[in-house]
Amino acid sequence: MAAVIPPPGEHLHDRKNLQLIGKARRRVDGRAKVTGQTKFADDLQFPRMAHCKLLRSRVPHAIIKNIDATRAAARPGVLLVLTGRDFPIPYGILPVSHDEFPLCNDRVRFVGDPVAAVIATDPLIAFEALDDIDVEYEPLRTFSDPEDSIQHSEPRIHEYADKGNLHKLVSLQFGDVAGGFADADHVFDDVFFYQGNTHLPIETHATVGTKDPDGKLTVYSSTQCPHYLHKATAKALDMDPAHIRIIACSNGGGFGGKSDVFNHEIVVARAALMLDRPVKICLTREEVFYCHRGRHPVTMRFKTGVKNDGTITALHVQSLLDGGAYGSYGVASTFYTGALQTVTYHIPKYRFDGCRAFTNKPPCGPKRGHGTPQSRFGQEIQLDKIAVKLGIDPAELRLRIIEQPNTLTANFLTVRTIGLRECVERVVRMSDWKNKYKKMPHGRGVGIACSSYLCGAGLSINWNEMPQSGVQLNLDRSGRVTAFCGATEIGQGSDDVLVACVAEILGIDPHDVRPVTGDTDLGPVDLGSYSSRVTLMMGNAAIQAAERARDLLAIAVAKKLEIPKERLVFANRKVFDCENPLKALSFRDAVCAAETMHGTIGTVGSYSPPKSPAKFKGGGVGPSPTYSYSAAVVEVEIDPRTGWLRVPRVWMAHDIGRALNPTLAIGQVQGSIYMGLGEALMEEQEFRRLPERLSNALVHKFPSMLEYKSPTTLETPEMYIELVEDPDPTGPFGAKEVGQGPLLPIMPAVANAVFDAIGVRIDEVPITPEKILKALDAKAKGKDPRFGPASFPSVPYPEPIIVTPPWEGGDGRAANEPEKKHRTEQNQGARNAAWHDAQKLMNEKSNPEGASR
């Protein structure tokens, strides 16, 4: 039973007798999804709606000399042609990289960069008119990979890069890493490569812009982040944001691919305003491959010092990211390749060097796990190598080095609950690991890996001290509760989380609560569906709003029933006396009583994450209210003659804190395993050069769903999943994230299983039959039994920022960053490091908001 006032000392996350939370249920939007009634952006139809198509660059890097759209504009049915001249203001998702224009201004930077838009009465007319636009290009040297960008600084893809064509160069050192290596019994030094891959949501991106009857702008879009689209649209169109409404439609899958602001969204917004009629764009599948913003290809070097018992003495990680042609989330992605190693295992001394290079390919950005799967792959394979060398069972090695709960790590990340030990123990037990590892016949094997992930980024992208999620409740005398929130339903079940948190506190049925989400005009801001933040942040805001509503009702009901409000229970759509349950009001009557006493009933809740103790530049990426943990065992079967690899079974234990709705939580874990297997075995965002005589262009090797291989039902393994529930005090009812973390251990667990099966190391993904055969061939010839990069490139990393770890007396500030230190003190330590970059890099015109601060 849910008492109004929790007994002293009882916290919500400890609560045992919950009515709704923790029970497997149909999600609130389940019916809509199975009847085809969920409205996705391309399902929207409006009277007089026009259609937009984009002309995209067919050359990878060039100056636009001239665009002549006269013929296109003259075509019957063509209403408007827009070019870069119509969009003078750049935008970007991060304040440090406002480097995109809705339509390219003077330069194209990759095949697929949009240079013009045609809006016509019919999509076919718009499409055909694209051929009537003549663009004159002056080709520039094209950069195809990061090493090319390291070696050649000119011509610069962007002027604002840290150095030449190296977008971002960072180096952070926590403690005496060299001393740590000197203390080690063994030092392992390995290089890995993680190929890029893409989100492949089944829904292609779509947006409709409309000019409202009152002249304001409304944009409906398949976006994960309506709040960021709101900001960017206002900036790029130089409009008052109060006159722009963004409605995030239900996303047909996102996985990070709809979390950036896209040029087509801003183009149709302007077109709708200019034409005074609705304008829709829906991208083709090929265009989605070129929009990308997916997993960065990363080359990594891991240097790890260990004692004979497996204890880590020091870790030095170096990463080189292929960023593609624009900034996107790339600065954050770069830091993420080096941020979360320390929250999983105890690492007393740590150094991270990161570099993101610009190349003339579609921009990379955040995909499920954002920047961390690549380095997790390297770390977990290297741990497997360490275990083999030291003669320690790989599961046992991990149990020895797991980070402690309630710890501040070397890089000042706050670990709270950590269920990783139990996760490892459970997958070992479930998979019968001890009878399988090193004991299966040749060609079959098992591998283990662990991981951790954020439950929401601790610092928002645009630094401010406002809440990161807000919920408003409106209660009506009918007994109906409406929950308003900016959160965005992308399939993960955020509407269900919102409704469940409210219904649990108010003791009503989830069906009694109507969620109104993803609409910037109707609900308070939620930053968006990224960084696994929604359950924790929106959930806490929802609980706060619901508790305030419950308390308003309790005062009125207590008076009416003439009992102290402390005796009231909210459950089963009733409010009753815990000492005499027959003394009760229905929930509806309770709302009526409250409305009579207080007037209209509405409450608000908001959530801001705890302040991070990391005060050094770069410390803004990695902090989170808490972290989730996962462990996986993967079994593989390999045919050594063909290299063909099959995954028959996967075991996963995930530390979720508390599962709010186990049906959805299990679905997130299974979906993560599936997507991880795709990355491990087949998915790659690969590019090729067309011959010189054609254009020398860098084009996607296979921009179709047939040739970009992703797992089907036939590749699906048996999945055995357990949720580890140790409620975390920071989470709503103790819940942590589940949408991204479980993906992370899959790829290294597959690689480790390959080694157990056939004794070769595949140090890169995807792990294809061809690579397995090459490694087996090397082994047969007595060479290094391995496939992977031979060496790590020479990268001009800067001198590291030196930060003393907490156990050596560090206070989270850098020892060699005086200017930053001063500023940090001024601002009470809460400023995002990215913000300082923004001030340095952004001119006033491109970032008026920055200039005013």
**Which residue, 250 or 752, is less far from other proteins as judged by CB?**
250
Question: CB under 8 A: which stretch of 29-37, 425-433, 502-510, 758-766 binds other proteins?
Answer: 29-37
N-to-C CA span, the chain: 50
Query: How far apart, in whole angstroms, are the C-alpha atoms of residue 667 and residue 254?
Result: 15
Q: What is the 3-state secondary structure (H, E, C) of 701-740?
A: CCCCCCCCCCCCHHHCCEEEEEEECCCCCCCHHHCCCCCC
Question: CB under 8 A: which stretch of 160-168, 442-450, 638-646, 708-716 binds other proteins?
Answer: 708-716
Question: CB under 8 A: which stretch of 145-153, 484-492, 520-528, 692-700 binds other proteins?
Answer: 484-492
Kind and range of the H or E run holding 8: none
Q: At what angle do helices 394-401 and 372-390 cross, to 10 degrees?
A: 110
Q: Which two three-digit tokens encode residue 224?
A: 């994960």
Instruction: Report strand pairing: 166-174 vs 407-408.
Output: unpaired
Question: CB under 8 A: which stretch of 172-180, 313-321, 343-351, 665-673 binds other proteins?
Answer: 665-673
Does 152 contact other proteins by CB under 8 A?
no
Of 33, 152, 442, 598, the one binding other proteins by CB under 8 A: 33
Exposure string of 538-566, with b = 16+ CB inside 10 Å and e = fewer, is: bbbbbbbbbbbbbebbbbbbbebbebebe
At CA 142, angle to CA 141 and CA 147, rounded to 5?
Answer: 115
Does 46 contact other proteins by CB under 8 A?
no
Query: How far apart, in whole angstroms, are the C-alpha atoms of residue 270 and residue 304?
Result: 53
Does 31 contact other proteins by CB under 8 A?
yes
* 27 burial via Cβ count (<10 Å: 0-12, 13-18, 19+): buried
* 793 burial via Cβ count (<10 Å: 0-12, 13-18, 19+): middle
Residue written as tokens 């390919």?
A: 361
Q: How far is the CB of 209 from other proteins (least distance, A)?
A: 19
Instruction: Report strand pairing: 244-248 vs 279-282.
Output: unpaired
Question: Hey, which residues between 189 and 218 contact other proteins (CB under 8 A)?
Answer: 199-204
Does 289 contact other proteins by CB under 8 A?
no
Does 32 contact other proteins by CB under 8 A?
yes
Does 74 contact other proteins by CB under 8 A?
no
Kind and range of the H or E run holding 386: helix 372-390
Question: Hey, which residues between 120 and 149 contact other proteins (CB under 8 A)?
Answer: 124, 127-128, 130-131
**Which residue, 42 or 725, is less far from other proteins as judged by CB?**
42
- What is the maximum alpha-carbon separation in the chain? 89
Does 27 contact other proteins by CB under 8 A?
yes
Does 671 contact other proteins by CB under 8 A?
yes
Q: How far is the CB of 368 from other proteins (least distance, A)?
A: 10
**Which residue, 253 or 793, is less far from other proteins as judged by CB?**
253
Query: How far apart, in whole angstroms, are the C-alpha atoms of residue 390 and residue 793?
Result: 29
Does 76 contact other proteins by CB under 8 A?
no
Question: CB under 8 A: which stretch of 491-499, 578-586, 685-693, 820-828 binds other proteins?
Answer: 491-499
Question: Hey, which residues between 788 and 807 contact other proteins (CB under 8 A)?
Answer: none
For 786, the 3-state DSSP assignment is strand
Does 47 contact other proteins by CB under 8 A?
no
Does 369 contact other proteins by CB under 8 A?
no
Q: How far is the CB of 743 from other proteins (least distance, A)?
A: 10
**Which residue, 373 or 810, is less far from other proteins as judged by CB?**
373
**Which residue, 202 or 780, is less far from other proteins as judged by CB?**
202
* 147 burial via Cβ count (<10 Å: 0-12, 13-18, 19+): middle
Q: What is the DSSP letter of 100?
A: B
**Binding characters for other proteins, 232-261, by CB under 8 A (x = yes):** ------------------xxxxxx------
Instruction: Report strand pairing: 350-358 vs 312-324.
Output: parallel
Q: How far is the CB of 24 from other proteins (least distance, A)?
A: 9
Does 37 contact other proteins by CB under 8 A?
yes
Q: How far is the CB of 309 from other proteins (least distance, A)?
A: 37
Q: Which two three-digit tokens encode residue 46?
A: 């409006």
Does 716 contact other proteins by CB under 8 A?
yes
Does 482 contact other proteins by CB under 8 A?
no
Tell me how many residues contact other proteins (CB under 8 A). 59
**How much helix, strand and coil, in percent to the nearest 5, is found in the chain?**
30, 25, 45
Q: How far is the CB of 685 from other proteins (least distance, A)?
A: 15
Question: CB under 8 A: which stretch of 28-36, 425-433, 478-486, 765-773 binds other proteins?
Answer: 28-36
Query: How far apart, in whole angstroms, are the C-alpha atoms of residue 95 and residue 731?
Result: 29
**Which residue, 53 or 813, is less far from other proteins as judged by CB?**
53
* 155 burial via Cβ count (<10 Å: 0-12, 13-18, 19+): middle
**Which residue, 592 or 656, is less far from other proteins as judged by CB?**
656
Does 702 contact other proteins by CB under 8 A?
no
Question: CB under 8 A: which stretch of 34-42, 328-336, 566-574, 690-698 binds other proteins?
Answer: 34-42
CA-based nearest residue to 61, from 167, 130, 158: 158
- Give residues in contact with other proteins (CB under 8 A): 26-27, 29-40, 42-43, 45, 124, 127-128, 130-131, 199-204, 250-255, 284-285, 490-493, 663-664, 666-667, 670-675, 704-706, 710, 712-714, 716, 719
